[in-house]
Structure 1
Amino acid sequence: MAGTTLGFIGAGQMARALAHGFVSAKLLDASSLTAADPVPAAAEKLASELPGLKVAASNVAIASSCDVVVLAVKPQAMSAVYQELGGKLAGKLVVSIAAGISLAKLCEGLKTQRVVRVMPNTPALVGKGASAYALAAGATAEDGALVGKLLAAVGTAHQVDEKLLDAVTGLSGSGPAYVYLIIEALSDGGVKAGLPRNLSTALAAQTVLGAAEMVLARGEHPGVLKDAVASPGGTTIAGLATLEDRGVRGALIAAVDAATKRSAELGK
């Protein structure tokens, strides 16, 4: 990717995660990155974190100077982006991480067909992102490979049909927040049982990390791994019975479903 320049329109949490991830993975130098944000302090903060990253005076400046333009804005701000950049992105690869905004609307608003829609998540900041992406008709196979390489540098990347991206948003896009809540609750349980807070949180976080690694490394159904921990009449099955009684499984399923529906609403 030597020589590729990439600009972020929007310098919020997700742009920050991706920028840090690309640089940490040595996929792009900070000097090849540019950012702009309606709140200048946001772009300036990112530049202070990644010396060499340039702050652009406007979105138009990014559109004219970068090979790849990442739209890292809230869905509600996309109409303003259309007004400012519509027709000014010829020849550029446009990558949108705005939840819920369809490829059809992006192509219409930006007046270009070379668009890739991405749903990343914030663990990209530590190289553990889980992302999915879909290509518009005008995006080439090479464009898809480039986006896949960028996302793979900060975690895992899956090319999917666009119709699946709302569900991806509800699961992996919003999912880190669900897991943080679970870690916090596990830590609270440890504290209630007498553990110091720092130790309880460290044990809870490492337990979630280790369990996730087991699922990925072993390739077994999570239910099989769960059963391997739950000895007859033991502590784990007692805890699992309480989780089932409190509806934890149903609550998590409902959370993914609600976030998926909200993603679809944002695109309307």
Structure 2
Amino acid sequence: MNVGFIGTGTMGTLLIEALITSGALDPKQISVSNRTLAKAEALAARYPGLRAVHSNAEAAADCELLFLCVKPLEFHKVVGDIASVVCPGQLVVSITSPVMISLLEQRLPCKIAKMIPSITNSVWSGATLCIYGSRVAEEDKDKLESLLKHISQPLRIEESFTRIVSDISSCGPAFFAFLLEQFVKAAVEETGIERGEAVRVASEMLLGTGLLLTEGGLTPEQIQKRVAVPGGITAQALELLRQDTAGVFGRLIRTTHDKYNEDVEKIGEMFGEP
């Protein structure tokens, strides 16, 4: 299978590297274009056999699967670059959440899907969210997901839930890393523990908690109940957290959705959508 990538930013590069290092793809199967050719050439130098090509049209030609890994406001140009090259049998996969599948289906003659990756895919973990357009057959879905299974757990979702599920799976690592950072910072300031040691302990705790929630089959509520003895230290601290964080995650979600809706509107305007 030949696979094309347009865009070698943070997520595009992450996907390429994860798919190669996991053994899902051989570099010889991959063609890459980027606005700055030198970045694509740097990837080709790291992974001999990978082809850095000079245009988006060249990356799109003769591949079964094409990933569009560009920022929302770059889509108008990219779609224009590849519209005359892609054909009905190809599957084009956008990794950019505010670009609607229906918009791409109106302008490209091929099959359209959307996939939302996560930084956790770089260690072959976490979820990738898969949303499919009307032209995508079940065998196309299976082909994409069999590739993604090397680096993640593919999850099919409805496009209407793209933003909220992205908040959890893709933004979530940054949110929880922030909370962990604050936890460690407070531990250092309050007790004098060495920061590196606190980070190691906290990181192992977070990993173990994730395993309890997945392989261990526990719910977040069950973990709290098992750790927090009534009247004990953890229970008292949890009550403090409930009081001080009341409403904060609702505000967080409203913030991400406001930005998402703003991007959807801007993209629609670029494509002449009412």
TM over 0.5: yes
- Aligned match of 1:98: 96
The TM-score with structure 1 as length reference comes to: 0.92
Q: Secondary structure at the match of 1:208?
A: helix
Aligned residue among 18, 21, 25 for 1:21: 18
Give 1:42 deviation, angstroms: 2.4
Give 1:48 deviation, angstroms: 3.4
Distance in 1, Cα, partners of 2:259 & 2:170: 12
- Aligned match of 1:212: 210
Give 1:120 deviation, angstroms: 1.3
The 8 Å contact of residues 91 and 110 in structure 2, kept in 1 or not, is answered as: no
The TM-score with structure 2 as length reference comes to: 0.90
- Is structure 2 residue 57 aligned with structure 1 residue 66? no
Q: Secondary structure at the match of 1:65?
A: coil
- Aligned match of 2:224: 226
- Is structure 2 residue 156 aligned with structure 1 residue 166? no
78-87 or 46-55, larger mean C-alpha shift:
46-55
Output aligned runs, 1:1-268, within 5 Å. 4-90=1-87, 91-109=89-107, 111-192=108-189, 193-247=191-245, 250-268=247-265
Distance in 2, Cα, partners of 1:200 & 1:49: 35
Amino acid at match of 1:142: E
93-102 or 42-51, larger mean C-alpha shift:
42-51
Amino acid at match of 2:218: E
The 8 Å contact of residues 86 and 110 in structure 2, kept in 1 or not, is answered as: no
Q: Secondary structure at the match of 2:48?
A: coil
Give 1:159 deviation, angstroms: 1.1
The 8 Å contact of residues 32 and 40 in structure 2, kept in 1 or not, is answered as: yes
C-alpha deviations, 1:191-246, integer Å up to 9, x for none?
A: 12221111111111221111111111222321111111011232212321221222
The 8 Å contact of residues 133 and 165 in structure 1, kept in 2 or not, is answered as: no
Amino acid at match of 1:207: M
Amino acid at match of 2:241: L
Q: 4+ residue stretches of structure 1 with deviation over 6 A?
A: none
Distance in 1, Cα, partners of 2:9 & 2:207: 26
Distance in 2, Cα, partners of 1:121 & 1:260: 18
Give 1:113 deviation, angstroms: 4.1
Change (3 A) 1:267 1:97: same
Distance in 2, Cα, partners of 1:259 & 1:222: 23
The 8 Å contact of residues 33 and 53 in structure 1, kept in 2 or not, is answered as: yes
Q: What is the alpha-carbon root mean square deviation over aligned residues?
A: 1.7
Percent identity over the alignment? 25
